[in-house]
């Protein structure tokens, strides 16, 4: 049970109290914390070991709120082609955007600086790619940076939201998305989070943005704190979820990190929402790092909620999900996300079923609706393509039209769910139509795929148009994505099973779509009636289901416990060791990645951020003296034998062993007095005769002077030169020649002790003053000089003082 008590968690960050979208301190209607981030934190999820990167104009990596979580390996500068994503600074702070987004995700908590990031222990990187010419190559490079290392890519940008643009990823960026979801995160799929767009005031529709419209991106919308539609919000059917953001001038905005190590309480727009969801997903990935890119979308669909978000178009689809074109499935719920993620079993493989309409041109008449249908079996005859339970639905259209902005397109699913694929756009005067443009909807999520799909196109001219030029639908294709089995109650994929630990949600039931495909009672019966074959990892006692976690005993090792559920595995995963006698995977000591036993001194390798100290088989944060931390091997390696301390390499010494001394970053043997270690000859060579110890053979390379020599500036001299006097200096016992006062040719010691002046100066009261006489220094004048003590001031001493002094 996690307490939803704002006083339970407190941070010393000064803007913490302004983070209204995370916690509420006021008990009134302005109190908004339905995103339940606090509760997710209270369960212990803060984004540890999750890597998020911000694709934007750079991030200020040395910002006090980002520096600790900054991850260089998750960063790159595509604009500058180097590894430093620091933004370019200018007087208008044009490049503040990425830094603002980064803080939302992973600002460090409790460091008394600004704010607390949603995943405040996640690692954060930045890919600087918006501060220059953006091309398909730039986007493809950016989307494909370190896909095995970076878990989540957050992008708060896109094509112009001007209500007339239709644009999306080019061929390379499209491939980069596909490679990312297929190969990223070692095959689990990169997670791309996208801001849905700010073109609300221009009547823009986010379906005309190919990034938010892609099935590979999680498109995120915004709501004001009061649950209203913000002025900038764009509607479309591809939006998956929503977070709080800014609204009208009287609505509160978002506080975050800002450029030049500052904080801002003025972050706005849908740019806010993508990083917020990226942070929430980071919490979910910490709860279960093995969830795939599609699992993440399923989790958002299942856990996001309409709460108080106001829209006229909220509807319940045939799978029981409440969905809207403004907010997708609603406000994200971090707590529900981590609870569901923790017990999540991956959904079955994605199938794709495509059906193309006949190639008959259909005319779109002005002020009329044109309907066309495709009847789909969900490719039931093709097991590899069979889609029974829907996820994304894509409609590809080839439309010729004299004014694109007059078109409205709807798709009606076999279950009767209507998705608006395109709304009229007042500013879109283009006559280019839609050339194989793909519209996407998530509104049929969970519905059955088979049946008649209807595409409905309306043309309502907003300007005078020639009635003879009609729009034409030349071809359309229906692409259904989903699974052949029920994703939640499929063969071997039992979500929320009784043997899993259920953490009660905080006064809110997780969404339970109706009609529920299988009731809990049916599930019980299904378990009791199981007579199929057991998993190959099961032992001789059999099983109560087909998966490895249904085994009654294991042939190799059992992993997990009664609370989390046990499963049989052939080898224990990282963080566990194989206890052969008990046939169990037992947990290594905290910090150990591989180990031979439970003890802290039984580690074989360490978790990220720690280093193996092999001498003691322990994992340490910093290596002991005589060792350095090797980032690649993640081990403490021994410094060179001559080094006492070293940095990053065995021979980059910072302190030397006894008998050696530091020459740059190398430890060389200490030589006898009067000699030094010659690095080229690799032997002790004599110093200059004036030196007692030295760094080289020259007379200016003395460290200490030979007997009967005095140190003068950088040399050792037999006696002090004119203008110097002999004396000891504090801390040094050897004699030194120190410089006399200015303009003194010789002196007896420090201060005003001149005995001889250089040419052009006269000695007056053991001080050298410029050799000039003052011809008007009469008695009255000298009295004035004396009474004002002008001669005590260096500036005036050069003028009439000498004359006055001589005059008494």
Partner 1 sequence: SPSRSVYTNQWAVRITGGREEADKLASKYGYRNLGQIGGLENHYHFHHSKVVRRSAFATKGTHSFIHMDSKVEWAQQQVVKSRVKR
Least distance from C-beta 664 to partner 1, angstroms? 35
Q: In what order do the strands lie in the sheet with 418-422?
A: 369-376, 451-459, 407-412, 418-422
In the complex, least distance from residue 162 CB atom to partner 1, rounded to whole angstroms:
9
CB of 78 to partner 1, least distance (A): 10
Q: CB of 387 within 8 A of CB of 378?
A: yes
Active site residue 388: no
Of 161 and 741, CB closest to partner 1: 161
Q: How far apart are CA 287 and CA 274, in angstroms?
A: 20
Active-site annotation holds for 271: yes
For tokens 């006898």, name the residue: 672
| Of 13 and 161, CB closest to partner 1 | 161
Q: Are 465 and 429 in contact (CB under 8 A)?
A: no
Catalytic residue, candidates 13, 56, 209, 333: 56
**Residue closest to 450 by CA, chosen among 381, 519, 371:** 381
For residue 87, which of 71, 116, 121, 63 has the smallest C-alpha distance?
Answer: 63
Complex with partner 1: residue 97 or 325, whichever CB lies closer:
97
Element (H, E) at 301: helix 293-303
CB of 352 to partner 1, least distance (A): 21
Q: Which is nearer to partner 1, 140 or 782 (CB)?
A: 140
Enumerate residues 6+ apart whose C-beta is below 8 A from 756. Answer: 744, 745, 746, 763
Residue 172 CB, shortest distance to partner 1, in Å, is 6
Compare residues 180 and 433 and give the one whose CB is closer to partner 1: 180
Tokens of 617: 């088989």
Q: Which residues bind partner 1 (CB under 8 A)?
A: 56-57, 97, 130, 133-137, 139-145, 147, 156-161, 165, 167, 170-172, 175-176, 179-180, 183, 195, 197-198, 269-271, 430
Q: What are phi and psi of 497, to 5 degrees?
A: -70, 160
- Given 271, 324, 419, 490, which residue is catalytic? 271
Q: Which residues contact 202 (CB under 8 A, 6 or more apart)?
A: 161, 162, 163, 164, 426, 427
Q: Would you list the DSSP string of 182-212? A: HHTGGGT--EEEEE--S-GGGT-BGGGBTTT
d(CA 383, CA 393): 19
For residue 52, give the nearest of 130, 108, 119, 111 by alpha carbon: 119
Complex with partner 1: residue 183 or 734, whichever CB lies closer: 183
Backbone angles phi and psi of 251, in degrees to 5? -85, 150
Closer to partner 1 by Cβ: residue 145 or 281: 145
User: In terms of CB distance, is 55 or 338 closer to partner 1?
Assistant: 55
Could you tell me the smallest distance in angstroms from the CB atom of residue 268 to partner 1?
9
User: Is 708 in the active site?
Assistant: no
CB of 233 to partner 1, least distance (A): 11
**DSSP bridge pairs for 328:** 324
3-class DSSP assignment, residue 72: helix
Cβ atoms of 304 and 242 within 8 Å: the answer is yes
List 389's β-bridge partners, or say none. 448, 483
**Could you say which DSSP state residue 274 is in?**
H
Q: Where are the beta strands (DSSP E) in 449-583?
A: 451-459, 471-483, 489-490, 493-494, 557-559, 567-569, 576-579
Considering the candidates 23, 63, 97, 443, report the single residue annotated as catalytic: 97
Q: How far is the CB of 313 from partner 1 (least distance, A)?
A: 22
| Cα angle 365, 366, 368; round to 5 | 70
Q: Specify the residue, 157 or 676, whose C-beta has the smaller distance to partner 1.
A: 157
- Whose Cβ is closer to partner 1: residue 99's or residue 743's? 99
87: left (phi over 0), alpha (psi -120 to 50) or beta: beta
Instruction: Give catalytic residues, as residue numbers.
Output: 56, 97, 271
């Amino acid at each position: 049970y996690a307490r939803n008590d704002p006083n339970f968690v407190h941070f010393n960050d000064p803007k913490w109290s302004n983070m209204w979208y995370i916690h509420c301190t006021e008990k009134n209607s302005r109190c908004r914390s339905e995103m339940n981030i606090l509760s997710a934190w209270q369960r212990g999820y803060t984004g540890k070991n999750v890597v998020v990167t911000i694709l934007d104009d750079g991030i200020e990596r040395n910002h006090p709120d980002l520096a600790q979580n900054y991850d260089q390996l998750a960063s790159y500068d595509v604009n500058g082609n180097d590894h430093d994503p620091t933004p370019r600074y200018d007087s208008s702070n044009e490049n503040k955007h990425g830094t603002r987004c980064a803080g939302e995700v992973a600002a460090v908590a409790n460091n008394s600086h600004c704010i607390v990031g949603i995943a405040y222990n996640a690692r954060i990187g930045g890919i600087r790619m918006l501060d220059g010419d953006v091309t398909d190559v730039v986007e493809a490079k950016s989307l494909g940076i370190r896909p095995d290392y970076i878990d989540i890519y957050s992008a708060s940008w896109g094509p112009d939201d001007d209500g007339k643009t239709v644009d999306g990823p080019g061929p390379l960026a499209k491939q980069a998305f596909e490679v990312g979801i297929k190969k990223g995160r070692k095959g689990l799929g990169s997670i791309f989070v996208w801001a849905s767009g700010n073109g609300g005031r221009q009547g823009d529709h986010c379906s005309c943005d190919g990034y938010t419209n892609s099935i590979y991106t999680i498109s995120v919308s915004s709501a004001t704190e009061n649950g209203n539609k913000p002025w900038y919000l764009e509607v479309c059917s591809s939006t998956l979820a929503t977070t709080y953001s800014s609204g009208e001038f009287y609505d509160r905005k978002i506080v975050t990190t800002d450029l030049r190590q500052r904080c801002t309480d003025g972050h706005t727009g849908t740019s806010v929402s993508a990083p917020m969801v990226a942070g929430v997903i980071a919490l979910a990935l910490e709860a279960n790092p093995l969830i795939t890119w599609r699992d993440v979308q399923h989790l958002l669909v299942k856990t996001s909620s309409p709460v108080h978000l106001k829209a006229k178009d909220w509807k319940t689809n045939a799978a029981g999900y409440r969905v809207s074109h403004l907010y997708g499935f609603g406000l994200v719920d971090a707590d529900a996300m981590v609870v569901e993620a923790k017990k999540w079993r991956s959904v079955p493989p994605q199938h794709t079923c495509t059906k193309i309409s006949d190639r008959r041109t259909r005319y779109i008449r002005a002020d009329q609706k044109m309907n066309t249908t495709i009847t789909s079996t969900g490719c039931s005859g093709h097991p590899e393509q069979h889609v029974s339970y829907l996820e994304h639905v894509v409609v590809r259209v080839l439309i010729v039209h004299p004014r694109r902005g007059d078109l409205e397109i709807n798709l009606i699913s076999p279950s009767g769910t209507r998705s608006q694929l395109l709304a009229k756009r007042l500013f879109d005067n283009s006559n280019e139509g839609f050339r194989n443009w793909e519209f996407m909807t998530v509104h049929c999520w969970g519905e059955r795929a088979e049946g008649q799909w209807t595409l409905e196109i309306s043309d309502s001219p907003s300007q005078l148009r020639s009635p003879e030029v009609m729009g034409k639908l030349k071809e359309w294709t229906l692409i259904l994505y989903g699974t052949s089995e029920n994703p939640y109650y499929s063969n071997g994929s039992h979500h929320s099973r009784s043997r899993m630990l259920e953490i009660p949600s905080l006064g809110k039931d997780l969404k339970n779509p109706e009609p529920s495909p299988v009731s809990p009672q049916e599930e019980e019966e299904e378990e009791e009636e199981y007579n199929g074959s057991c998993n190959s990892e099961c032992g001789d006692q059999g099983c109560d289901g087909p998966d490895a976690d249904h085994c009654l005993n294991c042939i190799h090792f059992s992993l997990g416990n009664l609370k989390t559920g046990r499963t049989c595995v052939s080898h224990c995963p990282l963080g566990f060791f194989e206890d052969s006698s008990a046939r169990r995977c037992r947990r290594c000591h905290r910090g150990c990645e591989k180990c031979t036993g439970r003890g802290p001194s039984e580690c074989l390798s360490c978790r990220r951020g720690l280093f193996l100290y092999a001498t003691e088989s322990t994992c340490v944060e910093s290596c002991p003296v005589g060792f350095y931390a090797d980032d690649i091997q993640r081990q403490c390696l021994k410094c060179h034998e001559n080094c006492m301390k070293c940095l990053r390499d065995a021979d980059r010494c910072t302190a030397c062993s006894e008998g050696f001394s530091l020459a740059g970053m190398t430890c060389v043997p200490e030589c006898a007095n009067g000699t030094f270690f010659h690095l080229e000859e690799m032997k002790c060579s004599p110093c200059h005769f004036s030196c007692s110890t030295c760094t080289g053979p020259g007379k200016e390379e003395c460290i200490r002077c030979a007997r009967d020599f005095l140190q003068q500036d950088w040399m050792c001299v037999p006696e002090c030169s004119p203008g110097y006097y002999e004396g000891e200096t504090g801390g040094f016992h050897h004699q030194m020649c120190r410089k006399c006062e200015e303009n003194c040719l010789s002196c007896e010691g420090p201060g005003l002790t001149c005995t001889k002046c250089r040419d052009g100066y006269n000695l007056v009261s053991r001080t050298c003053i410029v050799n000039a006489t003052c011809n008007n220094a009469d008695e009255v004048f000298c009295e004035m000089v004396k009474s004002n003590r002008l001669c005590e001031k260096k500036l005036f001493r050069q003028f009439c003082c000498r004359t006055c002094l001589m005059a008494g």
